[in-house]
């Protein structure tokens, strides 16, 4: 989007619209348009300008979650290590977020991360039921990658085995 035009433009436009027949000219122009293919109930077009506007209005956390959805391999890194697994707790993801956004440290809770993940379209594995973790506790896990696959897995042992995968050196 370009810079605003000079004030003179807006003054002249306002005068044209309100006093010099601009409103009638616009109405005539719209009346002559062929709108037979227009469907007012259709989904709005997904243009790059619309996407930029949506991203501009997001908080740092919402932006991070959107980037996680678009490029999980980039976000699921720990230094030179990359995560092999697809399932993560909100606490783990919060740690990754805070690692990238140190100034946000302590400002976002795990519950806040959960809400942001859900708003970004991430779902929980195992229908949101707690799963065993390597620390011996039970946690709820979000499906960050391969959600279609993980949403069909009902075997707790298979899920626990995947959750136990450790990060490995990556490219």
Residue boundaries of the structural domains of the chain:
60-169
pTM comes to 0.70
Low-confidence ranges of the chain (pLDDT < 50): none
Q: How far apart are CA 45 and CA 148, in angstroms?
A: 26
> Which residues 6+ apart lie within 8 Å of 59 measured at CB?
116
Which candidate, 130, 161, 126, 131, places its Cα nearest to that of 147?
Answer: 126
The pLDDT score that the predictor gives to residue 162 is 96
The pLDDT score that the predictor gives to residue 1 is 54
The pLDDT score that the predictor gives to residue 44 is 84
The pLDDT score that the predictor gives to residue 171 is 62
The pLDDT score that the predictor gives to residue 147 is 97
CB crowding 117-151: b at 16 or more within 10 Å, else e: beebebebbbeeeebebeeeeebbbbbbbebeebe
């Amino acid at each position: 989007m370009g810079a605003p035009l000079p004030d003179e433009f807006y003054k002249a436009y306002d005068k044209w619209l309100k006093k010099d027949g601009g409103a009638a000219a616009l109405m005539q122009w719209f009346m002559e348009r062929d709108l037979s293919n227009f469907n007012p109930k259709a989904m709005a077009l997904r243009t790059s300008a619309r996407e930029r506007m949506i991203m501009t209005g997001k908080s740092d956390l919402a932006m991070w979650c959107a980037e996680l959805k678009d490029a999980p391999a980039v976000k699921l890194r720990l230094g030179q290590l990359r995560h092999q697994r697809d399932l993560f707790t909100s606490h783990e993801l919060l740690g990754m977020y805070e690692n990238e956004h140190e100034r946000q440290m302590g400002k976002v809770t795990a519950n806040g991360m959960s809400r942001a993940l859900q708003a970004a379209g991430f779902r929980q594995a195992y229908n949101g039921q707690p799963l065993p973790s390597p620390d011996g506790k039970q946690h709820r896990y979000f499906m960050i990658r391969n959600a279609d696959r993980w949403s069909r897995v009902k075997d707790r042992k298979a899920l626990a085995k995947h959750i136990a995968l450790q990060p490995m050196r990556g490219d």
